[in-house]
């Protein structure tokens, strides 16, 4: 299981310090003003045993600690950081409910129109955005994708809301590998390992999305149609489609295909017979061709 790495940083309040983990700590924000309120939270109890602690806030991956004005943070911050990290990595729990009621994770495999891509659907949200990895070199801040590339047959990894689409090399057979991958993903998530450091990816990955405020009216309509009528169907097949550009002179539309749709033999047919016809019907006289670009 992945170990906790605890670091700290200043907040807007001089008396408060934020200690944050690379792993999930709590599914909701909880404020503790005294140790009696932390009877079901072993980690918070340990923190309150320290004489300088005034109150504690637990929130997802962070612990905010407010100190009494009897010392400076510089005197204790490193030792406290180590103490929290050691407590968690030695088997201590944040909450008693972590032991009593672990949230079960289920994963099921689903075939896609692309024979080389298998879609693994999780019973909970796993990411806030869309992420595509063409090779292992791109996964430095994506532990799950990095681990999946350790399977020799994995060629590409794609993550969206609650599913993972994995592209195998053409010489492999999903019938032989699907169960191993499914169980690997389930265990990885069940153990609350970090799937991806989304804050480190946000700037780069958002560049693929076009800001509707910076395009012409026709492009805005195309984006709206894709979002409402096309993306849900594409996602159900384990992929994603993103508007890239619209040329007012040629009336050509460029879209980016990701996940199971990228390089899929049926993608061109789907675009020509489905998306292109839909756009032409909903925007008469404004659309000539739809061109697909693999992500």
Same domain, 111 and 185: yes
Residue 50's region, left for phi above 0, alpha for psi from -120 to 50, else beta, is beta
pLDDT bin (cut points 50, 70, 90) of residue 160 is: very high
How far apart (Å, rounded) are the C-alpha atoms in residues 88 and 100? 17
Asked if residue 37 is part of any domain, the answer here is yes
Task: Return the exposure string of 142-160: e unless at least 16 CB atoms fall within 10 Å of the residue's CB, then b.
Answer: bbbbbbbbeeebbbbbbbb
Asked if residue 197 is part of any domain, the answer here is yes
- What is the model's pLDDT at position 273? 73
- What is the model's pLDDT at position 206? 46
- The H or E element that residue 28 is part of is none
pLDDT digits (tens, 9 = 90+) for 12-36: 999 999 999 998 898 888 999 999 9
Cβ neighbours, 10 Å, residue 197: 13
Tell the burial category of 184 from Cβ atoms under 10 Å away from its Cβ (0-12, 13-18, 19+).
Answer: middle
- What is the model's pLDDT at position 120? 95
Instruction: Confirm if 264 and 113 have CB atoms less than 8 A apart.
Output: yes
pLDDT bin (cut points 50, 70, 90) of residue 186 is: very high
Provide mean pLDDT across the span 37-56. 92
CATH number assigned to the domain comprising residue 288: 3.30.300.130
How far apart (Å, rounded) are the C-alpha atoms in residues 133 and 211? 23
Residue keyed to tokens 């999930």: 24
Asked if residue 1 is part of any domain, the answer here is no
Give how far Cα 225 sits from Cα of 132, 232, 251, 279, 281, Å: 23, 11, 16, 8, 11
Same domain, 192 and 225: no
Same domain, 85 and 52: yes
Q: What percent of the chain has pLDDT over 70?
A: 90
- What is the model's pLDDT at position 267? 66
**Residues of the domain holding 19:** 6-100
Asked if residue 41 is part of any domain, the answer here is yes
Query: At residue 288, does pLDDT exceed 80?
Result: yes
CATH number assigned to the domain comprising residue 173: 3.30.1370.70
Same domain, 114 and 92: no
Q: Which residues, 6 or more positions from 36, have their beta carbon under 8 angstroms from its beta carbon?
A: none
- What is the model's pLDDT at position 265? 65
- Of 72, 100, 128, the domain-final residue: 100
pLDDT digits (tens, 9 = 90+) for 223-279: 999 988 888 888 888 888 889 899 999 999 998 888 888 776 666 677 667 888 899
pLDDT digits (tens, 9 = 90+) for 59-116: 989 999 999 998 999 999 999 999 999 999 988 889 887 644 556 788 999 998 889 9
Token couple for 260:
């199971």
Number of domains in the chain: 3
């Amino acid at each position: 299981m992945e170990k906790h790495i605890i670091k700290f940083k200043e907040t807007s309040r001089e008396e408060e310090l934020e200690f944050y983990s690379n792993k999930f700590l709590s599914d909701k924000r909880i404020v503790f003003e005294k140790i009696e309120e932390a009877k079901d939270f072993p980690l918070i109890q340990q923190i309150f045993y320290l004489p300088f602690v005034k109150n504690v806030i637990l929130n997802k991956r962070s612990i905010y600690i407010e100190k009494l004005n009897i010392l400076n943070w510089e005197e204790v911050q490193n030792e406290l950081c180590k103490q929290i990290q050691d407590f968690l990595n030695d088997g201590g729990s944040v909450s008693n409910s972590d032991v009593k009621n672990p949230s079960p994770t289920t994963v099921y495999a689903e075939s896609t129109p692309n024979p080389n891509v298998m879609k693994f659907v999780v019973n909970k949200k796993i990411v806030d955005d869309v992420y595509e990895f063409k090779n292992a070199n791109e996964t430095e801040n994506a532990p799950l994708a990095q681990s999946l590339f350790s399977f020799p047959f994995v060629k590409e990894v794609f993550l969206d809301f609650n599913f993972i689409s994995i592209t195998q090399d053409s010489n492999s057979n999903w019938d032989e590998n699907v169960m191993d991958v499914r169980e690997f993903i389930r265990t990885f998530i069940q153990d609350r390992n970090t799937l991806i450091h989304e804050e480190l990816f946000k700037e780069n990955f958002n560049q693929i999305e076009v800001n509707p405020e910076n395009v012409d009216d026709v492009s805005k309509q195309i984006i709206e149609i894709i979002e409402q009528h096309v993306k849900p169907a594409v996602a159900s097949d384990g992929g994603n489609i993103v508007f890239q550009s619209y040329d007012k002179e040629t009336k050509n539309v460029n879209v980016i295909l990701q996940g199971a749709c990228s390089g899929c033999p049926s993608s061109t047919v789907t675009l020509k017979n489905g998306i292109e016809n839909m756009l032409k019907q909903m925007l008469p006289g404004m659309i000539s061709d739809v061109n697909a670009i693999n992500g």
